[in-house]
Structure 1
Amino acid sequence: MQQFANRKKRIFDIILILSLLFLAACAITTRLYHKTSEIRIDDDFIIVKATAIDTFSSLAAEYLNDPSKGWLIAEFNHIKSLTSGQELCIPLFPFNKGGLKSGGFQTVPVLAYYGFSKNKASKISITQDDFKAQMKYLKENGYHVITLDQLLGFLDYREQIPEKSVAITFDDGWISVYDIAIPILKKYGFPATIFIYTDFIGGGKAMSWKQIKELSEAGFDIQCQTKTHRNLKVIKKKESFKEYFKSLEMEISYPKKVINKKLQKECKYLAYPYGKTNNLVIAMLKKHGYRAAFTVNRKSNPFFIDKYKINRTAIYGKYDIEKFRKELSVFQRMELK
């Protein structure tokens, strides 16, 4: 019996090795085919013929050293799929960093979520099924979920991003984000940013620092929403300007230090509580090294938006898919002359 098991294992190992050799041979053959058929135009473009096993990702890995940039090849050639023998022009540079076209310009919606529930929706609480449906809609309709770093690369006119880009954010740090939203995001491979106000973390309905650290280590972005979630724009009743100034300093500097200490990550972005800000708040953010900050103005973002007044659209609990779709504006029509 043991002899039979050993023989079976050897046969399996041989089949595995032969399969790997076959795949390697295919890859080498494909690369050789590309090398003999490709045409280089200066250092800007390569024209190649696609093989039967090519994908946008494989071509991006070979020529752009980044398989995630398959969309760049697809968008440049205005195609959605490949066929064997098809000639393609591969750009070796970002050919449209600001998303400008003769008919208008690219915009990026940033979605803001709050809490979640299994089956009961409220103004700020999305049901599990509704969130699943929204993420499925993004995946099936060709949207690319990008990180805030990618968004800032676009806003700084440094990076090109996919035409149908969208960013996902969560506010506060509710435990329901950890329990309900995160598993759905992982299923679709979507990145997201969680803006936390540090006094809330560890409370009864909030995530713990252990859970926050787990999400950070899993690749989710943890950023600031102040210390106590006070309205940064408004001086409180009986609060002197000096007290207001000191409070702003604490609200902005303290969570940055806490996040750095607990997660060993830099806090670069802030979501304004209630979406409110003023020139003093913005000046203090710049002083403390924040690269950008986010409101809750319901608009998408062109590359020329003020980086300390980036728009976000709150997604509420009773949105059907049609209403959700209308919040995904990725292009602003305007005759550019």
Structure 2
Amino acid sequence: MKRLFISMLLLVLLFSPIPMSTEAASLPTVKITQATPVFFNSDKVAVFSKGATASITKESGKFYHTVIAGEDVKFSKQRAKTIKNSFGSFKGAYPVKAKTKGHVKIYSAPNGKGKEIGHIQPDLTIHMQREQKGFYPINFGGKTAYIQKKDIAVDPGIPVLMYHDLVQTKVGDNVSVLEVNKFAEQMAYLKKNGWTTISPRQMELWLKGKIKLPKKSVLITFDDGYDSTIDLAYPILKKHGLQATSFLITSRIDRPGMVSAENIAETADVFSYQNHTHAYHMFNSMTGLSYLQSESRFSIAADLEEANDHIEQIIGGGHKVTALAYPYGKYGPQTLLALHDTDISIAFTINEGNVHQGDNLLDLNRQRVHSDMTLKDFANKLNGM
């Protein structure tokens, strides 16, 4: 059965058409000539007002295709005319997930300064950028538009906080380095406000609908395996009775500045130690791709298995490694094939946003925590805002 699955997946990967990047290609822009309903499959999801414009991703029969709130949608060609070519943008960070309360008006600018350019139907799930003074930016036909905060209900999901290295005093502007006093403040906030820390395994079971989790659940993660997770983070987590996950680059264990095997064994009461590759946390200098994008399925699987084995031998006691954080948040089709050959069953990117039921277990969001964040910013991320 496994061979059949792999053969079928390989055929799909080999013969599926590769989508053209909408960032690099010149896209036609159309102007809406009359109020136009917009459809996702056969369901009406929005309306473009007369005079609105939209960038087109493709054409199919009688329809133009564009993007609204992260979804591919279509509308009639008869209600629009091409006006120019432009470099439309459909990519970007849209970390906020919400549901529309009613017919939600779409504006060309926030704060009452823009005109109404359409609306979205009631009870739809949409993705947006973070709030800006009572308005949420949304991708509406390839350009940024705005909806009012009062018109949507945010789905908080579960936050996966991403940390790397902690320091007493920060020097430089490396976003992966956080002052320990800020980390202590954030952990105290979690404890005071009733947040429950969970493991990757609990998140996996929740995503599969096999368990329920407390409303305020959070997964705390550290990448790379810096010794600051032991010297600085561990005592703070222990003090507040919080758990965390440490994604290890196992080839760096026992190196200066990194965790030791002894550290790992001694702190497994607080940290769930998981996979961040063995030696594949690097870029291919020939292609500019990460190793998890450029190497073969078999070599990736071998590297991940080596990392799993290393961690499991250090901790012992039947500990199983089942979670992976992709280096740089990047992976390719061959990585997914490799995961099928390992015990890894849940994997995390660095894409912004919380995790929601229905998300792909091998493509989960995280929320980066950085020095410029206020405690209010931290609280907003926890709540998916």
Question: Structure 1 length normalisation: TM-score?
Answer: 0.62
Which of 168, 172, 186 is the matching residue for 2:238? Answer: 186
Cα-to-partner distance string for 1:256-282 (whole Å, 9 max, x where unaligned): 111122222211111000000122201
How many Å apart are 1:109 and its aligned residue?
0.7
Question: Which amino acid counterpart does residue 129 of structure 1 have in structure 2?
Answer: N
The 1:229/1:176 distance shift into structure 2, 3 A limit, reads farther
Q: Residues 219 and 183 from structure 1, CA distance in 2 versus in 1: closer, same or farther, beyond 3 angstroms?
A: closer
Which structure 2 residue ranges, 5 or more long, are not aligned? Answer: 1-152
Q: Distance in 2 between matches of 1:304 and 1:260?
A: 30
> 2:197 and 2:304 mapped to 1: Cα distance?
28
Maintained 8 Å contact 1:109/1:300: yes
Match of 1:261 among 313, 333, 355: 313
Kept in 2, the 8 Å contact 1:144–1:162? The answer is yes
- Corresponding position of 2:336: 282
Deviation track 1:45-64 (CA, whole Å, cap 9, x = no partner) reads xxxxxxxxxxxxxxxxxxxx
1:146 to partner: Cα distance:
1.6
Residue of structure 1 aligned with 2:170, choices 100, 112, 120: 120
In structure 2, distance between residues paired with 1:316 and 1:168: 14
1:213-245 per-residue CA deviation (whole Å, 9 max, x = no partner) reads 1112x242100100124358x684499999644
Q: Tell me the residue number matched to 1:109.
A: 159
Structure 1 counterpart of 2:271: 220
Separation (CA, whole Å) in 2 of partners of 1:145 and 1:321: 18
- The aligned residue for residue 190 of structure 2 is 138
Which structure 2 residues correspond to residues 24-39 of structure 1 after superposition, within 5 A?
none
Q: 2:372 aligns with which of 308, 318, 325?
A: 318
The higher radius of gyration belongs to 1
**Alpha carbons 1:155, 1:305 under 8 Å: kept:** yes
Matched, 1:149 2:201: yes
Q: Secondary structure at the match of 1:297?
A: strand
Q: Does 1:199 align with 2:266?
A: no
Instruction: Show the counterpart of 2:38.
Output: none
Could you tell me how far apart the structure 1 residues matched to 2:330 and 2:383 are?
23
Partner of 1:297: 351
Higher RCO (CA < 8 A, seq sep 6+) = 1
Q: Which has the higher helix share?
A: 1
Q: Give the C-alpha shift of residue 140 in structure 1.
A: 1.7
Q: Which residue of 1 aligns with 2:281?
A: 230
| Alpha-carbon offset, residue 105 of structure 1 | 4.9
Question: What residue number does 1:270 align with?
Answer: 324
Query: What is the identity percentage for the equivalent residue pairs of Structure 1 and Structure 2?
Result: 29
SS in 2 for 1:195: strand
- Partner SS for 2:251: coil
Compared with structure 1, are the counterparts of its residues 287 and 322 closer, same or farther at alpha carbon in structure 2 (3 Å cutoff)? same
Q: Quick one: distance in 1 between partners of 2:288 and 2:348?
A: 28
Structure with bigger strand share is 2
Aligned CA RMSD, in angstroms, stands at 2.7
CA contact (8 A) 2:186 2:375 kept: yes
Tell me which amino acid in the other structure corresponds to 1:174: Y
Gaps of 5+ in 1: 1-102, 332-337
Q: Once the 2 structures are TM-superposed, how far is the Cα of residue 137 of structure 1 from its aligned partner?
A: 1.2
Contact 1:231 1:276 in 2 (8 A): no
